[in-house]
Amino acid sequence: MVLLSLVATHSNVDLETVARLSVGAPQVPSAVLAEDRSVTGAVVLATCNRFEIYAEAPSEEDVEAARSAIVSTISAYSGIPEQSVSASFETHTGQDVAEHLFAVGAGLDSAVIGEREIAGQVRRALIEAQGSGAASGGLVRLFQAASRTAKDVGAQTALGSRGRSIVSVALELAGDLSEDPDWSGKSVVLFGTGAYAGATMAALRDRGCTDVAVFSSSGRADAFVATRGGAALTAADLPGAMRRADVVIGCSGSDARIDAADIERVRAGSDTPLVIIDLALSHDFDPAVANLDGVELITLESVRAAAPDEQADALAQAGDLVRGAARSFEEQQTTRAMNAAIVALRQHTQTVLDAEMERVRAQHGCTAAAEEVEFALRRMVRQLLHVPTVRARELAAEGRQDEYAAALEALYGIDLSPAAPTASVAPAAAGHAAPTADAPHAGHAHPEGAVCPVDHERPARSA
């Protein structure tokens, strides 16, 4: 199995394109899996400034087909031509897949370096994929490793103690733009009830802000404030709350964008300055609100520009942790792949041994001599497999696993492709189960079907 990822973030495309690509994001994994066999698993990571798809393909030869299937599906949901979709994504394979996701989860690829929210979003992305049945074993291991790496970066570097986040930087900007930086006396209206709205509510509470009203076009405001505090707004309450507000924060990303004319109308006659913070990727507010008198607009682009640079030593340490974790993960993936080759070789030799022992028993019956022969053959097989097993591990560490697989096919006719049998040797007699090369038989069948009563440990020699 081979992992790949398609990445569109604030680093390589504009946020408007990221928002357009993200349309239908939750449906992409299931749709791709249902329509194309070149993809065996998929997880989508969609946040306020990135849209990334992690996938697993059966083999290296399937990677391009898998990428094409994902691009086609995103095009169908977003309405963007396939060529444009393809050009918007960077593609990662091999160790780059893990290194990028681990950096993302640790907050090293965020608009605010070291932000904390993204680690939770990585965890939720995996949970959602598992819930829909789209997460393959390889992707589960990848995302779990990303979460462990994020914890290590937080615990072992100074980034974890800074507590920076997109929300915290946005609120700092809002405080700087306000006549009074004290949040305890501010009236806030919050749009949305998702993860960022929850993080925003927590950040406001930490700053002493208690006057927070929450509006949700989907009707989830009551449930949201029941666990996080604040007051739920109805559509009828919204204009009055907007008129009184000192700060309005958008985290919903809904299709109903609030126009500059709407803000101007509800704020008519108010002489209170207003700061609008738009943290939604698809924008909750028309950018033209920035042109209104008495209104300041803070967007994700504003946050990215204002985000402080972190200390070089902390970033270097975090980068080393990420790269080391990615190397370790890739080595583990390679080892798992080599395990399949080792098992195939053992099954091959076991099949040969079992077939030979059937011929011995057919001629000599279940005798002590036959058991002596079997013991000797099994010991010889273990010795013969020792060096190929050790070399498999060594070649895997050197990234030469393809050479090992090619050698097995050339020498023994063992084909490791997923749909092929593991050996070209004829199976043992019907009804004879093939144990592993390292395990003794539990009992052999005579031609008449009776179980051989001889103990299959090494037989005692006669004095």
**CA dihedral for 129, 132, 134, 138, sign (positive or negative):** positive
Please give the model's pTM, rounded to 2 decimal places. Answer: 0.63
Alpha carbon 77 to chain centroid distance?
21
- State how far the alpha carbon of 83 is from the alpha carbons of 27, 65, 74, 86, 369, in Å: 21, 15, 11, 5, 71
Give the integer Cα–Cα distance in Å for 425 and 417.
16
Nearest of 23, 228, 18, 195 to residue 118 by alpha carbon: 195
**Helices (H), strands (E): how many in the chain?**
17, 10
Contacts of 150-157 spanning 24+ positions with Cβ under 8 A: 150/102, 150/105, 150/106, 150/107, 150/119, 150/122, 151/119, 152/321, 152/325, 153/106, 153/107, 153/108, 153/318, 153/321, 153/322, 154/106, 154/116, 154/119, 156/317, 156/321, 157/314, 157/317, 157/318, 157/321
Looking at residue 183, what is its pLDDT?
A: 94
Q: Dump the DSSP string for 291-345.
A: GSTTEEEEEHHHHHHHPPPPPHHHHHHHHHHHHHHHHHHHHHHHHHHHHHHHHHH
Looking at residue 308, what is its pLDDT?
A: 63
Q: Are 298 and 170 in contact (CB under 8 A)?
A: yes
Alpha carbon 58 to chain centroid distance?
17
Looking at residue 407, what is its pLDDT?
A: 77
Domains and CATH numbers, the chain: 2-163 (3.30.460.30), 166-306 (3.40.50.720), 339-463 (no CATH)
Give the integer Cα–Cα distance in Å for 357 and 368.
13
Q: How many CA atoms lie within 13 A of 199 on its CB side?
A: 23
Nearest of 199, 198, 180, 169 to residue 246 by alpha carbon: 180
β 187-191/211-215 pair status: parallel
The dihedral over CA atoms of 70, 72, 78, 83, expressed in degrees to the nearest 10, equals: 110
Give the active site residues. Answer: 48
Edge-to-edge strand list for the sheet holding 90-93: 41-47, 50-57, 2-9, 90-93
Annotated binding site for NADP(+): 192-197
What parts of the chain have a pLDDT lower than 70?
Answer: 160-164, 253-256, 307-312, 337-338, 393, 396-399, 401, 416-463
Looking at residue 445, what is its pLDDT?
A: 44
Give the integer Cα–Cα distance in Å for 229 and 226.
6
pLDDT digits (tens, 9 = 90+) for 52-92: 999 999 888 899 999 999 999 999 999 999 999 999 999 99
Residue with tokens 């949040």: 183
Residue with tokens 């790496």: 149
Looking at residue 310, what is its pLDDT?
A: 58
- The H or E element containing residue 92 is strand 90-93
Annotated binding site: 47-50, 110, 115-117, 121, 192-197
Q: ∠ CA 303-305-308 to the nearest 5 degrees?
A: 85
Looking at residue 206, what is its pLDDT?
A: 92
Looking at residue 280, what is its pLDDT?
A: 80
Give the integer Cα–Cα distance in Å for 375 and 308.
70
The dihedral over CA atoms of 222, 224, 225, 230, expressed in degrees to the nearest 10, equals: -110
Looking at residue 161, what is its pLDDT?
A: 58
Nearest of 248, 111, 118, 129 to residue 192 by alpha carbon: 248
Q: Are 252 and 284 in contact (CB under 8 A)?
A: yes
Give the integer Cα–Cα distance in Å for 31 and 155.
38
Looking at residue 337, what is its pLDDT?
A: 67
Amino acid identity at 146: A
- The H or E element containing residue 241 is helix 238-244
- State how far the alpha carbon of 287 is from the alpha carbons of 49, 139, 178, 300, 312, in Å: 17, 38, 19, 12, 34
Looking at residue 423, what is its pLDDT?
A: 40
Q: What is the 3-state secondary structure (H, E, C) of 339-399?
A: HHHHHHHHHHHHHHHHHHHHHHHHHHCCCHHHHHHHHHHHHHHHHHHHHHHHHHHHHHHCC
Per DSSP, 420 falls in state S
Looking at residue 399, what is its pLDDT?
A: 63
Looking at residue 312, what is its pLDDT?
A: 67
